[in-house]
Amino acid sequence: MVTLYLTHHACVEHDTGDFHPECADRLRAVQRVLEGEEFMLLHRQDAPPADREQLMRAHPESYVDRILGMVPGSGLRHIDMDTVMCPESGEAALRAAGAVVGAVDAVMTGGARNAFCAVRPPGHHAEIAQAMGFCLFNNVAVGALHARAVHGVQRIAVFDWDVHHGNGTQDIFQADPGLFYASTHEAGNFPNTGFSHERGVADNILNCPLPPGSTGDVFRSAVETAIEPAMRAFQPELVMISAGFDAHAHDPLAHMRLTVADYIWATQRMLAVADDLCSGRLVSVLEGGYDLPALAGCVRGHVRALMGV
Ligand SMILES: [Zn+2]
């Protein structure tokens, strides 16, 4: 069984302007590293575009229309200080969400054991009806809800190890006991949500804020003592990862001290959960990560772990 890699050139053409940390060079760095010979056995697929029905499982129709209607004909349009659109951003956003739909289809039908979606704009800050934090549509949530609607998956668990709390995914998941969201993130960083008392309707939200400056042993302890046991207790039929790599020690937007080895370890923990509970079905989706060499190194280790090499 293979690992599937989905990406799309439109995701590179999503232009956020000069000096924006969430820049096209991020995805170029990821794509370049995954072109290496060591990834020859990766199966590759162009991300399909998400359709309206797929987006509307996570967002109301009025929001989908509003976002797609805001795509500028030329130049850049700021949704807020951080969140920017260019003429190609609509297509990029559809491909980013569609990549996760395609990945879910592949792992649910046996076309792949697991999958990595190299996409931008990222998704985990996009709430039910609010774009923010570089995110337009919630890619992971669109994929999770597609798994339920089309493949009959009743229980889906997401581990979000991006250094920022995925307020958007929590917003979409928290009232639904069939969806589980767990997050490690830097306390006090953007968007300043994700407190441990936020538990969801059925303890289906698990937030593990970590102190700024935390090293890998603090992160690993949170995974071992809280995240992994809760995910196993939830008994998911599909495991998903919101794979941001901005808790790396070199990242300019945060103050954590993780290394490539920590991300490889966490990937292996999630693979073990998926192997034990749902035949290895796991879909990983790129979120943040803003130091280009660190991002490329983390993705290399993460995808090698997914491939089992
Ligand atoms: Zn982040």
- Burial status of residue 130 (CB atoms within 10 A of its CB: 0-12, 13-18, 19 or more): middle
Strand order in the sheet with 156-160: 43-46, 3-7, 114-117, 282-286, 238-243, 156-160, 179-186, 205-210
Q: How far is the CA of 163 from the centre of ligand 1 (A)?
A: 5
Which of 124, 125, 146, 165 is catalytic? The answer is 125
Instruction: Give mean pLDDT, residues 140-144.
Output: 99
> What's the pLDDT score for residue 87?
98
CA 83 from chain centre, in angstroms, equals 17
Q: How far is the CA of 79 from the centre of ligand 1 (A)?
A: 18
pLDDT tens digit sequence for 160-185: 999 999 999 999 999 999 999 999 99
Q: How far is the CA of 286 from the centre of ligand 1 (A)?
A: 10
> What's the pLDDT score for residue 250?
98
Residue 250 falls in the annotated catalytic set: no
The token pair at 307 is: 């491939």
How many Å apart are CA 121 and CA 280, to the nearest integer? 27
Banded model confidence at residue 1, pLDDT cuts 50, 70, 90:
confident
Residues of the chain with pLDDT > 70, as a percent, come to 100
Q: How far is CA 199 from CA 28, 170, 203, 296, in A?
A: 37, 10, 5, 33
Q: How far is the CA of 189 from the centre of ligand 1 (A)?
A: 9
Q: How far is the CA of 222 from the centre of ligand 1 (A)?
A: 18
How many Å apart are CA 278 and CA 293, to the nearest integer? 33
Instruction: Give mean pLDDT, residues 220-246.
Output: 98
The token pair at 165 is: 């709390």
Q: How far is the CA of 110 from the centre of ligand 1 (A)?
A: 31
Q: How far is the CA of 232 from the centre of ligand 1 (A)?
A: 25
* Residue whose pair of structure tokens reads 């090499």 in the numeric block: 309
The answer to whether the peptide bond before residue 121 is cis (omega within 30 degrees of 0) is: yes
Banded model confidence at residue 247, pLDDT cuts 50, 70, 90:
very high
Indicate the average pLDDT of the chain: 98
Banded model confidence at residue 74, pLDDT cuts 50, 70, 90:
very high
Which residues fall within 8 angstroms of residue 158, CB to CB, at 6 or more apart? 140, 144, 166, 169, 173, 179, 180, 181, 182, 239, 240, 241, 242
The token pair at 276 is: 């034990």
- Structural domains in the chain? 3-307 (3.40.800.20)
User: For the whole model, what pTM was predicted?
Assistant: 0.98
Instruction: Give mean pLDDT, residues 153-157.
Output: 98
Indicate whether 294 pLDDT > 90.
yes
Instruction: Give mean pLDDT, residues 37-61.
Output: 98
C-beta atoms surrounding 35 within 10 Å: 11
Amino acid code (one letter) for 148? R
Q: How far is the CA of 1 from the centre of ligand 1 (A)?
A: 31
